[in-house]
Amino acid sequence: MTSPGARLRSHWNLPDSPPSTALMGIVNVTPDSFFDGGKYDSTETAVEQGLRLASEGAHILDVGGESTRPGSGEVSYEEEIARVVPVLKELHRRAGVPLSIDTRKSAVAAAGVSAGARVINDVTALTHDPDLARVAASNDTGLVLSHIRGTPKTMQSQPHYDNVLQDVRDDLARSLDLALRAGVSEAGIAIDPGIGFGKTLKHNLILIRHLFELRSLGFPILLGPSRKSFLGSLLDLPVEKRLEGTIAVCTWAVHEGADLLRIHDVKEVGRAVRVAEAIAAEGV
């Protein structure tokens, strides 16, 4: 029987050869993202960054035009479209890998798909704009459902869970039900526990430690730990010095069966993933 991860690779047009953990390279076309805000906020610099990540081994590029860092406000859909569509069009023409549009708005998702995106990455798991599921269904795109409590502006204001692993699982199950009832292809859906999105340091560590338990939902798992603030809390380091922490989480995620990693540092994480997968393969 074909595994959920294999079905996802086919639906998203990802390579079906190793590594079994696919790498999603981050392209933020924003002035204010927490790590690379302002670095790639023009079409030319964003396209250059996307091409570089693809050359370093990214299997898919995730292009976003609105920062969802803790405390960030909302960008109008018109501005978001103006930021991402030219980048998506050029990367679709030149990058040679599938593209994802990182947005919580259905209008932006529709524009992104028209510009060449194969996947919609919704950081709110349909809680912000449920109509996004209709866009995914009508275009037969992939869909990432990423868990969040609150909004990016409010999510880190005393987040609370009775049991974070069970609560996140239950919230994702509800979002999956919405997506499937809207007609989104089961083969194209991935789930993301939403590290750093309405979670304390302890919440994040529990979710990473027990990542495999989310497989009971029956869908591939994407993890996005790249350079996030929980690593800064653990290591007492600024964002530009969190690469080693990112690599540590990503190698653990390989052990826990993650299907995709959303990362800024494709070359470095990719090398670590290859080693981790080689070790895991020897235990089979």
Query: Is this structure's pTM higher than 0.75?
Result: yes
Query: What pLDDT, in 10s, does the model give residues 157-206?
Result: 677 899 999 999 999 999 999 999 999 999 999 999 999 999 999 999 99
Query: What pLDDT, in 10s, does the model give residues 23-48?
Result: 999 999 987 554 455 566 789 999 99
Question: 202, 262, 267, 271: which is the annotated catalytic residue?
Answer: 262
How many structural domains does the chain have? 1
User: Beta strands of 47-118 (E only): which ranges?
Assistant: 60-64, 99-102
CATH code at 64?
A: 3.20.20.20
C-alpha 19/C-alpha 270 separation (Å) is 9
Active site residue 228: yes
Strand-by-strand arrangement of the 22-28 sheet: 189-192, 142-146, 119-122, 99-102, 60-64, 22-28, 260-263, 222-223
Planar angle of CA 40, 252, 218, nearest 5 degrees? 90
Print the domain residue range for 149. 4-281
Q: What is the mean pLDDT of residues 231-254?
A: 95
Residue 123: pLDDT band (50, 70, 90) is: very high
- Among candidates 230, 222, 202, which has minimal Cα distance to 262? 222
- Among candidates 145, 138, 87, 143, which has minimal Cα distance to 116? 87
Question: 105, 227, 228, 242: which is the annotated catalytic residue?
Answer: 228
